[in-house]
Chains A and B, each alone.
Chain A
């Protein structure tokens, strides 16, 4: 019988507080369809969705890039809960199908066995609501976590009123809590057209659509007919600062002339990125796939590289077309549910489309051409484009000017965004890099003159939502964890003062925990 190290994790994690056959994360079209399909196949299903998010999280641009334009109504939790439920009739259908529907519930971590982790009682997802945090075990997990807004900065982008297209969609549609009246939309693709159309339909003026390329990416004729100016060959240089955030967009046209377009909101509708943080933080394999919107799960059908974990909808690859092409997403969801439960499922069509990186790079190049190195790349940590390319330590260190920069770092090895993150703090802030991960990668690709795909992903880590210490600390804890806790490895001989090693004084040091 081998000895068990009493200070190891062995036996210290409790069984999860709840366990379901099928856990679905994300109650968008894909997730809801998956949950309904799984329930109708007889499975015990739980469907969680973080919406409505708390005002605090929305302020940190969780999950979408709200940019300070979420209205005060979002703070009314019960009303928002009702709105979220009422906004999608499919949720009621799921409820009636017997799905355990948990809105306002955040999935902050996925933990499953793999290389380097073998001590769990079983695969679990960490969940939290406003007052509690717990682990939910599952037999099968379907991640339908959707997509994030692609964020690109310009001067003044750190003020209230600069937001993403999906966030605009959520505030105008699901929440009816948008604090703006006149919007300039960046981009002319399907995403931008949908944003402009929804804005007009909800009585929000669209002051302009801005496109760096020489022609619109999608059909803007209906918008032109509604009087929306579409400015091609044009880029935003800055968002003018006003007392309530954005006061105007300062645009640079093809002739280099600058024009001022008054507005209270600038909506980034250039592109979207699959929300893959739960999968990646758990060690799930991703591939750089410009056609699917960036780093996307490596899939076989809807199955991820982690046993029992499936992906559906935009999280599997952002579909071309307007945000949330519901019919395709629903088909994904049904296929994922069938595959998860071992039924034959027609392989869902991968998000076919063109590589989005050239378009993103066109935007980044034009933004760089009209902006200065002082434009922020990371808002939380106050890191500018110049700081990233100069690999400068944060200003609060007061360090002397260094000869080191991206080009000297490249002499030592291939570009690595996590290394840049450690040295500059870009992507280390409270938004967990939802606002900066992609734009720093684009900046590094241009700075190092390499393809975007060659910049390794800046890794995600649990908790993938910024949650309070006190809330996460509510997870169940076994007495074995309390009793077996040690500050370090609990090797008593490690802490014997050197001079006492091998003397009669050694024994008295070998009692109790020690401390670094």
Chain B
């Protein structure tokens, strides 16, 4: 999509809002929606179309047992269609199917972690697994049936947040990139855009990989590395009982239409450009994904692959989210979910709203997700972790 900068200059630049959110991904939009629900005057700006990056291109899973936001995620998802007023395609439950003994050991361990938080998980033997998952084959070793969790349609959900936000009086400005922060007296007072300065009392940055560069001038260091991850989708098949069935090293779901949409496997580290990715190409990895999906569902091996796609995903050095409102400058709240943002979005938006309005998260202890943990991170952390582009790898 080529941006029409002339058109933007002609557009009437809004003066500002109480809270400006940079980033119309799932996290920023949920945060804005939560703020609007609290009566806050909120404006979201995005360099392109809402949900155009990783937020609209992921597996749609909503089952994140490792997160402090897990309970809130589980509480909210069954209500989201009603709360937003637009369909998200949310469906409950997950089945994770193992086709090797190693996977089976791993998935049972996950079952234990989920059970320890008070949720029911059944363990299915191969025969039970084949009954629960008609596309499974003779290679099924076992499955765990997670009675909580679920999945939803990322593209539809992102748009639902945006529309629900507008319905509450919030504003969304697409094709309006944040070119920089406007600082006065040690505080952030606005965002520079091609249409001029947009003022704010409080700034929320949920700008994905671009957040790091945007925040630096405000003295906030948010270390991030971005990579490309890929998915495939098949033609529709008859519906499984639990659409959220995956396993065999894949994540994904059967859509309500019946398509199998799955991803997984190796990623490619990229350098982040301020204006966003210049391309999101698929690679031959689509064939490796096809192979594993046919192993997971032998009875779907005939299903035709219609598309593959890629998303650019940011990660923090430890892969954990940052949800923080640093003391300095004090009126900036930062959120990245480090590659695991879609499913947790109902809860992450709530947490950001709480930080902006109340200064603390009201429903969960999230202290370990602060920026403080990166205080002593060496400057060359990406190289040390090998999170560098292939060109940099070759050069090394």
- Bits for B364-375, please: 1 = Cβ < 8 Å to A, else 0: 000010000000
- CB–CB A124/B87 < 8 A: no
- Bits for A448-468, please: 1 = Cβ < 8 Å to B, else 0: 000000001000011100111
- CB–CB B305/A472 < 8 A: yes
- Tell me whether A338 is interfacial, beta carbon within 8 Å: no
- CB–CB A133/B257 < 8 A: no
| Chain A hits for B1, CB < 8 A | 416, 456
Which residues of B85-125 have CB atoms within 8 Å of chain A's CB atoms? 85-87, 89, 96, 106-107, 109-110, 113, 117
Smallest beta-carbon distance B274→chain A, Å: 14
CA A499 to CA B368, docked complex, whole Å: 9
Interface residue count on the B side (C-beta < 8 Å): 104
- Bits for A225-239, please: 1 = Cβ < 8 Å to B, else 0: 000000000000000
CA A491 to CA B268, docked complex, whole Å: 14
- Tell me whether A177 is interfacial, beta carbon within 8 Å: no
- Tell me whether A257 is interfacial, beta carbon within 8 Å: no
21 A-B Cβ contacts within 8 A?
A7-B267, A8-B268, A9-B283, A10-B390, A117-B281, A119-B283, A393-B156, A413-B175, A414-B4, A429-B235, A468-B301, A469-B300, A473-B292, A473-B294, A475-B288, A486-B264, A488-B340, A489-B229, A494-B319, A515-B251, A516-B61
| Chain A hits for B68, CB < 8 A | 498-499
CA A126 to CA B286, docked complex, whole Å: 11
- Tell me whether A470 is interfacial, beta carbon within 8 Å: yes
- Output the nearest chain A residue to B269 by Cβ-Cβ distance: A8
| Chain A hits for B264, CB < 8 A | 485-488
Given contacts A118-B389, A494-B319, A497-B66, contact A462 B308 (CB under 8 A): yes
**Contact of A423 (CB < 8 Å), options: B66, B70, B159, B268:** B159
| Chain A hits for B291, CB < 8 A | 469, 472-475, 477
Stretch with Cβ within 8 A of A (4 or more), from B200-208, B353-361, B379-387: B379-387
Given contacts A115-B279, A116-B281, A516-B64, contact A494 B174 (CB under 8 A): no
Which residues of B173-211 have CB atoms within 8 Å of chain A's CB atoms? 174-175
Not counting A9-B390, A501-B368, a sample of 10 additional A-B residue pairs whose C-beta atoms are within 8 angstroms of each other reads A8-B269, A114-B281, A117-B228, A281-B281, A412-B172, A412-B174, A462-B282, A463-B286, A485-B266, A487-B251
- CB–CB A115/B156 < 8 A: no
- CB–CB A126/B270 < 8 A: no
- CB–CB B87/A399 < 8 A: yes
- CB–CB B65/A486 < 8 A: no
**Contact of A494 (CB < 8 Å), options: B66, B113, B302:** B66
| Chain A hits for B85, CB < 8 A | 400
Stretch with Cβ within 8 A of A (4 or more), from B12-20, B34-42, B310-318: B310-318
CA A514 to CA B281, docked complex, whole Å: 26
- CB–CB B268/A469 < 8 A: no
CA A3 to CA B387, docked complex, whole Å: 8
- CB–CB A498/B174 < 8 A: no
- Bits for A153-168, please: 1 = Cβ < 8 Å to B, else 0: 0000000000000000
- CB–CB A119/B306 < 8 A: no
- Tell me whether A397 is interfacial, beta carbon within 8 Å: yes
- Tell me whether B249 is interfacial, beta carbon within 8 Å: yes
**Contact of B257 (CB < 8 Å), options: A3, A126, A394, A422:** A394
Given contacts A8-B268, A485-B266, contact A494 B340 (CB under 8 A): yes
Which residues of A113-171 have CB atoms within 8 Å of chain B's CB atoms? 114-120, 124, 126, 133, 135
Pick the 10 closest A-B CB pairs, nearest first. Answer: A494-B319, A473-B291, A491-B319, A470-B301, A115-B278, A475-B287, A3-B386, A2-B396, A5-B386, A466-B304
**Contact of A491 (CB < 8 Å), options: B56, B278, B305, B318:** B318
| Chain A hits for B280, CB < 8 A | 116
Interface-central residue, B4, B67, B96, B106, by most chain A CB under 10 Å: B106
- Tell me whether A328 is interfacial, beta carbon within 8 Å: no
- Output the nearest chain A residue to B264 by Cβ-Cβ distance: A487
- Tell me whether B320 is interfacial, beta carbon within 8 Å: yes
Question: Which B residues fall within an 8 A CB radius of A?
Answer: 1, 4, 49-50, 56, 59, 61, 63-68, 70, 85-87, 89, 96, 106-107, 109-110, 113, 117, 155-156, 159, 162-163, 172, 174-175, 227-229, 234-236, 247, 249-251, 256-257, 264-270, 277-288, 290-295, 300-310, 312-313, 315, 318-320, 338-340, 343, 368, 383-393, 396
Which residues of A379-395 have CB atoms within 8 Å of chain B's CB atoms? 381, 393-394
- CB–CB A419/B281 < 8 A: no
Interface-central residue, A109, A119, A414, by most chain B CB under 10 Å: A119
Question: Which A residues fall within an 8 A CB radius of B?
Answer: 1-10, 12-13, 60, 109, 111, 114-120, 124, 126, 133, 135, 281-283, 381, 393-394, 396-397, 399-400, 402, 404, 412-414, 416, 419, 422-423, 425, 428-430, 432, 456, 461-463, 466-470, 472-475, 477, 481, 484-489, 491, 493-499, 501-502, 512-516
**Contact of B305 (CB < 8 Å), options: A3, A469, A484:** A469
| Chain B hits for A115, CB < 8 A | 277-279
**Contact of A282 (CB < 8 Å), options: B174, B235, B281, B386:** B281
**Contact of B249 (CB < 8 Å), options: A118, A394, A486, A491:** A486
Smallest beta-carbon distance B141→chain A, Å: 15
Given contacts A114-B279, A396-B256, A461-B309, contact A413 B113 (CB under 8 A): no
- CB–CB A430/B235 < 8 A: yes
- Output the nearest chain B residue to A501 by Cβ-Cβ distance: B368
- CB–CB A413/B174 < 8 A: yes
Smallest beta-carbon distance B123→chain A, Å: 15
CA A494 to CA B302, docked complex, whole Å: 35
Given contacts A2-B383, A487-B264, contact A116 B163 (CB under 8 A): no
Given contacts A412-B174, A462-B282, contact A515 B110 (CB under 8 A): yes
Smallest beta-carbon distance B3→chain A, Å: 10
- CB–CB A513/B249 < 8 A: yes
- CB–CB B228/A116 < 8 A: yes
**Contact of A486 (CB < 8 Å), options: B66, B247, B265:** B265
- CB–CB B384/A3 < 8 A: yes
| Chain B hits for A8, CB < 8 A | 227, 266-269, 386-387
| Chain A hits for B385, CB < 8 A | 3, 5
**Contact of A399 (CB < 8 Å), options: B86, B117, B269:** B86
CA A294 to CA B127, docked complex, whole Å: 53
- CB–CB B266/A468 < 8 A: no
CA A414 to CA B156, docked complex, whole Å: 19
| Chain B hits for A494, CB < 8 A | 66, 315, 318-320, 338-340
